[in-house]
């Protein structure tokens, strides 16, 4: 499922709705915010959802706020939130949309890559115990091993593109792979593919070399 030349899928609509409601965790929030920069047409959908939410709020009877003065005093007395420092942009770092740079706290040229398998490098950003968020750099034309997921995988294409059994995805597209999908993504020829992927569970390799490579994909850091 994706948003691309064939239109936005239901799963992506659900993801955008969760973004509009403010219910996404930081990694998915950064993914969707970056998508909205790369694919401005999705902003109309999110704006419509926000307008609907605003209309719902207007129909709700206001309730008096207890201890109003005390609450206001506590807010004004609180320390200002500390913003994460973001590395200055350097040549090549503009491949990362600003929400993703803010989430990473660094520019593209400051990323420390780790080779997963030949032709595939990864920068793991966050370990959630059962899943993680990662930047993936896949060499042009590289075929990824066939794999499934215990949960879901949400991927935003930042450069280049890839194809699998569900279709083709280019810069700005969101691909959502559910647990029942066994796929083997293939990076487009001509340009390396850079993606930001968020998973909520580990993946399992299913191809003929799966048992040999499983420890490379599932190892703990």
pLDDT value of residue 57 = 42
Res. 47 pLDDT band, cuts 50 70 90: confident
pLDDT value of residue 114 = 94
Model-wide pTM > 0.75: no
Give me the domains of the chain, ranges plus CATH numbers.
Answer: 1-82+96-221 (2.60.120.10)
> Which tokens belong to 87?
């590395």
Specify the higher pLDDT residue, 30 or 86.
30
When pLDDT is averaged across residues 106-132 and rounded to a whole number, the result is 83
pLDDT at 88 over 50: no
């Amino acid at each position: 499922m994706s948003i691309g030349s064939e239109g936005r899928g239901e799963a992506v609509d659900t993801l955008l709705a969760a973004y509009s409601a403010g219910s996404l965790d930081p990694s998915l929030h950064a993914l969707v915010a970056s998508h909205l920069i790369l694919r401005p047409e999705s902003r109309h959908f999110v704006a419509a959802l926000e307008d609907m939410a605003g209309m719902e709020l207007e129909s709700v009877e206001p309730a008096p706020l207890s201890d109003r003065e005390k609450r206001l005093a506590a807010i004004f007395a609180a320390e200002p939130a500390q913003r994460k420092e973001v590395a200055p942009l350097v040549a090549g770092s503009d491949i990362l949309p600003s929400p993703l740079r803010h989430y990473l706290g660094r520019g593209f040229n400051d990323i420390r890559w780790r080779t997963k398998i030949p032709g595939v490098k990864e920068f793991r950003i966050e370990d959630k115990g059962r899943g993680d968020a990662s930047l993936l750099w896949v060499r042009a034309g590289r075929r990824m091993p066939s794999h499934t997921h215990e949960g879901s995988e949400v991927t935003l294409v930042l450069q280049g593109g890839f194809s699998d059994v569900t279709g083709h995805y280019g810069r700005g597209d969101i691909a959502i792979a559910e647990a029942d999908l066994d796929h083997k993504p293939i990076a487009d020829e001509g340009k390396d593919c850079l993606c930001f992927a968020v998973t909520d569970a580990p993946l399992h390799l299913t191809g003929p070399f799966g048992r040999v490579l499983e420890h490379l994909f599932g190892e703990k850091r």
